[in-house]
Amino acid sequence: MSGVYHWGALAVQERVGVRGPAEHVGRSIGTGIRDVAAAFLELQPHLVVGAADGAGRMWASWLTGPPGFVRATGPHRIAVAGGPPAGDPLAEALATAGTRVGTIALDPRTRRRMRLNGALTATPRGFAVEAEQVFANCPKYLQKRQPLELVAEGAGVVARGDALTPGQVRTVRGADTFFVATTAEAEGADASHRGGLPGFVEVLSPVELAWPDYAGNAMFLTLGNLTADPRAGLLFPDWESGSVLQLSGRALTEFAPDGGRRTRFRVESVVEAVHPGRLLWSTPEYSPHLGSTTR
């Protein structure tokens, strides 16, 4: 089963001692979109997409639309109507055929999530992705929320920089959810989720963050990618206001003697935006797993 993992993921699995469980869990990774997955996608009002921009920087972008804007159009293909708002760091990449993307659809209402990675094709209405990896993750560390209001207007990109402002520092410190986009060059891109209680992402300085790596599914796809390539993109959604904070930079994983793990991220570029057509969500019901997180 090592064929579903590249050398970076295998190296982390070996180091942590989970090769056996990883091989078992790896059997869930396929290329086909099952009927239940297709039905799940059509209910989602947003999709996170990770990719590299034209300069090679990794970003995670937040796409929104009415349910059905993301749908399976075949057993190995999804179509996305529309794209990122004007000024988004991935606007050009998501209109370029051949871009390698990682996507994650996460439903706060049900604590379900689905990941699909592959190669992009531009379409008249947006873009499509030919699936190379399709799999679901368990609901661990996902916060539960309910949709409240759809806001049609938006201001687009409101700030750019190369370090966090005081307001953006508060956003990061208050976050209970973020998404991380990574790559392993020839192996393609991936987008994943991280969740914790507010404060689980530390702001060490305006250009450096850190967060713990909680026990998960033993795949280590994100840490494996970072072993092979340190580029990463982070996306912090503000569920209650609809704004998003996007960071691009480089990350590395620190392994402690007791088996604990922590990722440190160096900020290189910052984009803050307010999207039109954004859905506002309730305050969270935190995951029950967060009371027993281990590093």
Q: Which tens digit of pLDDT belongs to each residue from 161-189?
A: 999 999 999 999 999 999 999 999 778 99
What would the DSSP string read from start to end of 145-184?
A: --EEEEE----EEEEEESS--HHHHHHHHH-SEEEEEEE-
pLDDT band, very low/low/confident/very high, at 86 (cuts 50, 70, 90): confident
**Lowest-confidence range among 127-131, 141-145, 149-153?**
149-153
For residues 2 and 19, give the distance between their C-alpha atoms in angstroms, rounded to a whole number.
9
For residues 237 and 208, give the distance between their C-alpha atoms in angstroms, rounded to a whole number.
19
Q: Is the CB of residue 55 less than 8 Å from the CB of residue 45?
A: no
3-class DSSP state of 192: strand
Q: Pick the more confident residue, 26 or 59.
A: 59
Find the mean pLDDT for residues 229-252: 96
The dihedral formed by the CA atoms of 126, 128, 129 and 134, expressed in degrees to the nearest 10: 100
Structure tokens at 213: 């790596």
Find the mean pLDDT for residues 139-168: 92
Q: What is the pLDDT of residues 243-295, one digit of tens each?
A: 999 999 999 999 998 888 999 999 999 999 998 888 999 999 999 988 755 43
Tokens 């804007």 locate to 69
For residue 2, pLDDT beyond 60: no
Q: Is the CB of residue 244 less than 8 Å from the CB of residue 262?
A: no
What would the DSSP string read from start to end of 203-247?
A: EEETTEEEEE-----S--HHHHHHHH--EEEEEEE-TTT-EEEEE
Closest to 44 measured CA to CA, from 130, 93, 112: 112
pLDDT of residue 295: 32
Q: Is the CB of residue 84 less than 8 Å from the CB of residue 73?
A: no
Residues, the chain, total?
Answer: 295
Q: Is the CB of residue 245 less than 8 Å from the CB of residue 235?
A: yes
For residue 160, pLDDT beyond 90: yes
Tokens 């590093």 locate to 295
pLDDT of residue 292: 53
Half-sphere exposure of 75 (CA within 13 A, CB side): 3
For residues 117 and 130, give the distance between their C-alpha atoms in angstroms, rounded to a whole number.
8
Q: CA angle at residue 176 from 59 to 260, to 5 degrees? A: 85
Q: Is the CB of residue 212 less than 8 Å from the CB of residue 204?
A: no
For residue 1, pLDDT beyond 60: no
Q: What is the pLDDT of residues 203-229, one digit of tens each?
A: 999 999 999 999 888 889 999 999 999
Of the chain, the percentage scoring pLDDT greater than 70 comes to 98
Q: Considering the entire predicted model, what is its pTM?
A: 0.95
The residue type found at 84 is P
Q: What is the pLDDT of residues 4-55, one digit of tens each?
A: 899 999 999 999 999 999 998 888 899 999 999 999 999 999 999 999 999 9
Find the mean pLDDT for residues 121-129: 97
In eight-state DSSP terms, residue 16 is: H
Q: Which helix (H) or strand (E) holds 38?
A: helix 35-41
3-class DSSP state of 123: strand
For residue 126, pLDDT beyond 70: yes
Q: Which helix (H) or strand (E) holds 19?
A: helix 19-26
